[in-house]
Structure 1
């Protein structure tokens, strides 16, 4: 599961946008390239998928564009503790609109979404960002103010990021920055593991140098107000 957003987020979806339609899991098998192993995950992890809300010009009076014609809200009820990102991706790829998921597990829920590009024939799905688990009856916040659906979509995704965005930074550029940070975190963890078992002093010194170098770069990537030295 991806890193959780800094602040718990549950949105209060407009009643006028309520859609309330259950989507059979077989629909995602029919319209998506779902391999056998992933189908098993659908069966094991998902109890029900509900197309809960449709945020569109005719429901909330915000203009859509070709990049964000509508925003759909899907509620995924789990059988077990959670649902995998690859299952969410399979659902996401079958629907040619941006989707915001609410994953519901018993009396807790989390909001999760990835930036979705509709410009290609097959939608491109970015990194998933999520809130932490919250009580299902937790207080919900109003939707962010926006002039149109692309602005609303950007604001929703921004609320799910695990770090604050920088001045003038879009979700797309923040995602690239966070992906670089995750890569560096993996590299640092691998170097630290090697360091613990390295017997040669000169090699230990070099490993520490590499760890320190990468840590400085990582700090710059996650700093919400970077200096010109980054």
Structure 2
């Protein structure tokens, strides 16, 4: 897994605007159960930074017009992906989240596609928890905002992207790997509990087949 990273967001992009939780209720289709999590889990939502042409001099596109950085302060141990998804679907810009609480912070985001009335949000990936005062890196060099967005998302993936592979393609590949990991774990459990020899042989065959595909999906041979 890549080394966890936190970025030093440019001072010119700082906003520091508190966003009331009700904004997301009023402008998004937030299920009642998730509204409860907003109340129970979130201390404060801050629109912390806006990465855009007028703040960091990188041009955007219809796909990535700006990149927003939101800080979500947790009341307890963490914030669930359900809450992040509700925010993501309400805000029609790509978002990088920093979840903060108990003197620690993690960066989390998902590939977001803006075509259509409601943004489409892929799987969330996150760094591990880090001390709130951990050293931060400067933003990576980028030619434009879509390029910067790809690099920021790539830094969250549990494995490097492969040569010629977009972050969205890598996300799909790693999602398939996650599913296979769950299947492998389930088969291993069944194998341990199965008393019949012929059934054990079949389970071992299924297990080997999935392990081959899993190695193919996670093998770094074609990574940069």
Length-normalised TM-score, structure 1? 0.95
What is the CA deviation profile of residues 95-142 of structure 1, one whole-angstrom value per residue up to 9, with x for unaligned ones?
000000000012100000000000111100001010000011010001
Query: Runs of 4+ in structure 1 displaced over 6 angstroms?
Result: none
**1:37 partner SS:** helix
Aligned to 1:57: 53
**1:160 partner SS:** coil
**2:202 partner SS:** helix
Structure 1 residue runs of 5 or longer lacking an equivalent are none
Aligned to 1:111: 107
1:164, distance to aligned residue in structure 2 (A): 1.1
1:12 aligns with 2:8: yes
Aligned to 1:38: 34
Aligned to 2:166: 170
Structure 2 residue runs of 5 or longer lacking an equivalent are none
The one of 138, 143, 158 equivalent to 1:142 is: 138
- Map 1:189-200 to 2 at 5 A: 189-200=185-196
| Equivalent residue pairs, number | 223
Root-mean-square deviation over aligned CA pairs: 1.1
Q: For the residues of structure 2 that align with 1:164 and 1:65, how far apart are their CA atoms?
A: 25
The one of 184, 202, 211 equivalent to 2:207 is: 211
- Map 1:70-149 to 2 at 5 A: 70-149=66-145
Q: For the residues of structure 2 that align with 1:146 and 1:117, how far apart are their CA atoms?
A: 20
